Chain A
């Protein structure tokens, strides 16, 4: 079996969850992040900078820093600058609650490909219902700080039955804020969203209506903004990955490397092995029968995703 991941001597992309800590406890959170949820064994600054140096030395061109809320991590800027100053392109995901002009200006010195801010509502009431305690005004201010610093802004919208009626307004808000892209898709049945699935998951009829909203929004040409909602579901993404696994490593806050976000399996521990070892282990994992069976099970039964945050080692793990 020849896979396209065998083309590359290193991953194209590393998605690095720096922490499970967050200043919000969103109902739809796929990683179950929340205040006080920092893991006891998260990488400290020295360990994180060693991983960053390994990423640079391996020639990885693109890294996403996410969480939890990555800007809560004391060494967030140290990691971003270690990567960015070495030429690694960066994407940063933030809820925008504490992302102000100073942070945007500091990041603007680095090769930033995208700052992604979540806007899960267009009124404070709806936004706060899905993100209890959050301020929509702060999130909007963060978007403006991103654009004022000359950085590319990306908006993401996680659809639930609480906020879908405001989707069209959020799309237009994203345009008005100067976003280059609006991201969405089907609600992922992961983490907190899996626990609250019956409270959050939109109905089929609501999803049909939402697809029409997205299609209509795609007809609007000015100002230009990319509308991305493929893969529509986790299952679509896993199906594609089964035949052509992504050249992507997902690094957890403790340095473990996951095979895929919706699966519980991890294949390496960056405290004990190098990025090259993790990359080898990842490629082996996608050839492993047990892993491929787990992927197929997850495609067939989305309730399996509820186990995604109960991590377990693959048989081919480099730890």
Chain B
């Protein structure tokens, strides 16, 4: 059952008691830093990306 159908049924049963929508979960992304480059960036033969 999809989330949208659940929401629809809940609204029909108790429209006055609808809960506030939960905020959409955002991925916990990190800001890239130069210190991360050495371990996270691949190189090619004779082309170093670090």
A-to-B contact residues, CB < 8 Å: 4, 6-13, 15, 59-62, 64, 89, 93, 114, 116, 154, 156-158, 181, 183-188, 228-234, 237, 240-241, 246-248, 261-262
Other-chain residue from B29, B43, B46 in contact with A9 (beta carbon distance below 8 A):
B29
Q: Which chain B residues border A183 with CB–CB below 8 Å?
A: 43, 46-48
Q: A6-B27, A246-B49, A248-B49 are in contact. Are A231 and B43 (CB under 8 A)?
A: yes
* In the assembled complex, B15 has its CB within 8 A of some CB on chain A: no
> CA separation between A246 and B33, bound complex, in Å?
14
Instruction: Say whether A248 contacts B41, CB under 8 Å.
Output: yes
Instruction: Say whether B31 contacts A9, CB under 8 Å.
Output: yes
Other-chain residue from B30, B44, B45 in contact with A8 (beta carbon distance below 8 A):
B30
Instruction: Say whether B41 contacts A247, CB under 8 Å.
Output: yes
> CA separation between A157 and B48, bound complex, in Å?
11
> CA separation between A230 and B40, bound complex, in Å?
14
Q: Range of interface residues on chain B?
A: 10 to 19
Minimum CB distance partner of A11 in chain B: B32
Minimum CB distance partner of A64 in chain B: B49
Chain A to chain B contacts (Cβ below 8 Å), 10 pairs: A9-B32, A10-B31, A12-B37, A59-B32, A93-B47, A183-B48, A231-B44, A237-B43, A246-B40, A246-B42
> CA separation between A53 and B45, bound complex, in Å?
30
Nearest Cβ in chain B — how far from A126, in angstroms?
A: 17
Minimum CB distance partner of B34 in chain A: A61
> CA separation between A239 and B12, bound complex, in Å?
53
> CA separation between A251 and B37, bound complex, in Å?
18
Instruction: Say whether A241 contacts B42, CB under 8 Å.
Output: yes
Q: Which chain B residues border A247 with CB–CB below 8 Å?
A: 32, 36, 40-41
Instruction: Say whether A13 contacts B48, CB under 8 Å.
Output: no
Nearest Cβ in chain A — how far from B25, in angstroms?
A: 14
Lowest 4 CB-CB distances: which A-B pairs, in order? Answer: A185-B45, A9-B29, A246-B42, A61-B34
Q: Which chain A residues border B44 with CB–CB below 8 Å?
A: 185, 188, 231, 234, 237, 261-262
Q: Which chain A residues border B37 with CB–CB below 8 Å?
A: 12-13, 61-62
Q: Which chain A residues border B41 with CB–CB below 8 Å?
A: 12-13, 62, 246-248
Instruction: Say whether A7 contacts B30, CB under 8 Å.
Output: yes
Q: Which chain A residues border B49 with CB–CB below 8 Å?
A: 13, 15, 64, 246, 248
Besides the contacts A62-B34, A64-B49, A183-B46, what 11 more A-B pairs have beta carbons closer than 8 Å? A9-B31, A10-B31, A13-B49, A61-B36, A158-B46, A183-B48, A188-B46, A231-B43, A232-B45, A246-B40, A261-B44
Instruction: Say whether B45 contacts A12, CB under 8 Å.
Output: no
Q: Which chain B residues border A15 with CB–CB below 8 Å?
A: 49
Nearest Cβ in chain A — how far from B42, in angstroms?
A: 4
Nearest Cβ in chain B — how far from A99, in angstroms?
A: 18
Nearest Cβ in chain A — how far from B19, in angstroms?
A: 30
Q: Which chain B residues border A237 with CB–CB below 8 Å?
A: 42-45
Interface centre among A10, A12, A157, A246 (most CB of B within 10 A): A12
Q: A64-B49, A156-B47 are in contact. Are A9 and B30 (CB under 8 A)?
A: yes
